[in-house]
Structure 1
């Protein structure tokens, strides 16, 4: 048996709603076998079984859980047998909503694409994610956002395979959530395999750029607002509850700090009413908790509104519409608030931004 790579160390699993992380060992058997459906499908095609890939005790059943070490062993055996990274294009493209376990129906039940992404990031380990996906919106491009995929464990030997495999699976899932189309602006990957990049560009319908700092798919933030016409609050609550139960059963959840609970996974400040409902407390209790932790919600709200206002001004949105978007009564209130935040009027900000002056800083 050849040497399938060097040993790995402990990694961290970021949680979408907390600044804390839970340490996870590469030997913790927490990853569901269904996350390897693409690799297992390829293996069957060449006459291999789950045991051939992952070891003597692996059956590859829906209820099986594997450690990262054993999954890594299987991936390396498959890549070695196949002879290249194009295998990741096959295995990732094979997977979609139905290969995500309980997370799949929970995503389909969400009210919007943005809500589905938020929930998916929070529970990504339930689907067997071997990368630490996160949402990014401050890209320096008006209207653009991204799902980034840094490594869960430092593993140079499997990094490229996992990035490509997970990228295609995420793309397939998002296409379903968007009703069949998920137009990408571009894809960025740390590698530089031109043959694989060409295959990916054809599959994704978007340019693929190499030598990136982190793997990510960049798309228009308007896609986050696509609504699910079949959303059912009762079904949504049911599947979310099952996901929470499974996460707790295998020890994946850590308590979120109060500050972290104030924000969605996409980085927007949530209304106090929504926060109280999520935490199952009254508004009065939430106010006391904020005071106890020294959190000034109005200050956070100003900062969130200011960031959003800058984005909309750069897109040419009218002051009246920006006021509605950020929750102010009218354009006059918005202009007054913006001058307080930026030290200039919205019109002055547009002009400075147009000529390339540094962006305003909130006070």
Structure 2
């Protein structure tokens, strides 16, 4: 299971997630070789149900999928293909919930067991509620697909869990610009879709949240949630502080706050934050360097941005200082990742 601490270079992603991406691509005529190119993902790994991939590998696969997909609805297609079984024990617990509202609450509580790279929340607006997404993946070229997958998968899973076609949002809000193919979104969701919004969210009638789930089972739900709780407890409260620091750093790439500001955002003192990080064998500077390294490698491998721009995106105004830091992090020059795509 995915831990409370996440990193682009840690093997945290269950293989069933990239397997779905492969199937969606292959169903559209994209070859497996093109999808797996330069990802470091082998057929042997994909055949091992217990294997885990890194987020970096998942991002490379996503880039290949976007690049080779024959049309622009890749995020919608991928969201429609998401299966509740891919969520492991959390999926089993959600499946057994009494209603859609409790399923959402369970997802919010235990989402880090499946994917800590995003968070979501439910806001009561009176007769309706907004389910809002926050992604902690700082790469714009992937962000749109993530947003599309989020809203499409909810619509798909809500109908599956309740057995009702009317278990769907009344409005979908996306915070990316309206594309030329906007009609495809409205066709998919069969409701109002608004672009260029302050946040990605869907608005749902509160009566829909009370829809019963077709496989609701109180005893099974309690057992599955208990196992989720045990898994979450094994993560440890201290380990979670690393994830919180990383998410703050990733929320505004290129403008990394000093440790005092991070402590303030976490409602603690700088001294307490430093001690908490030391207790789990790390420090603010070490986490910052890891985030910068991961972002730099991703930009080098997936974009043609000049080194000067990449340096700025990871918080270096002087490219020469960035090159020195990059060599310290990786024992290689930036050109190694750009030229070799390693």
TM-score tier by shorter-chain length is 0.5 to 0.7
What's the counterpart of residue 24 of structure 2? 42
What's the counterpart of residue 290 of structure 1? none
1:184/1:123 CA distance change after superposition, 3 Å: same
Q: Distance in 2 between matches of 1:238 and 1:106?
A: 8
Q: Helix, strand or coil: the match of 1:55?
A: coil
Q: Is the 8 A contact 1:38 1:90 kept in 2?
A: no
Are 2:102 and 1:101 aligned?
A: no
| Partner residue of 1:146 out of 130, 134, 141 | 130
Larger-Rg structure = 1
Q: Helix, strand or coil: the match of 1:199?
A: helix
Q: Distance in 2 between matches of 1:73 and 1:192?
A: 24
Q: Distance in 1 between matches of 2:230 and 2:208?
A: 30
Q: Is the 8 A contact 1:191 1:212 kept in 2?
A: yes
1:231/1:82 CA distance change after superposition, 3 Å: closer
Q: Distance in 2 between matches of 1:187 and 1:238?
A: 34
What's the counterpart of residue 162 of structure 1? 146
1:255 Cα offset (Å): 9.4
- For the aligned residue pairs, the C-alpha RMSD in angstroms reads 2.9
Q: Distance in 1 between matches of 2:24 and 2:38?
A: 11
1:41/1:205 CA distance change after superposition, 3 Å: same
| Partner residue of 2:65 out of 75, 78, 92 | 78
1:48/1:232 CA distance change after superposition, 3 Å: same
1:99 Cα offset (Å): 2.9
Are 2:52 and 1:65 aligned?
A: yes
1:98/1:114 CA distance change after superposition, 3 Å: same
1:57/1:246 CA distance change after superposition, 3 Å: farther
| Structure 1 unmatched runs, 5+ | 1-12, 16-21, 257-363
1:253 Cα offset (Å): 6.2
1:209 Cα offset (Å): 0.4
1:26/1:230 CA distance change after superposition, 3 Å: closer
Cα shift readout 1:134-188 (whole Å, capped 9, x = no counterpart) = 21224xxx31111111112322121001110122112111112332221321100
What's the counterpart of residue 340 of structure 1? none
What's the counterpart of residue 31 of structure 1? 13
Are 2:40 and 1:55 aligned?
A: yes
Aligned residue runs from structure 1 range 1-363, under 5 A: 24-45=6-27, 46-48=30-32, 51-52=36-37, 54-57=39-42, 59-60=45-46, 61-82=48-69, 85-128=72-115, 130-138=117-125, 142-181=126-165, 182-228=167-213, 230-248=215-233, 251=235
Structure 2 length as normaliser, TM-score?
0.60
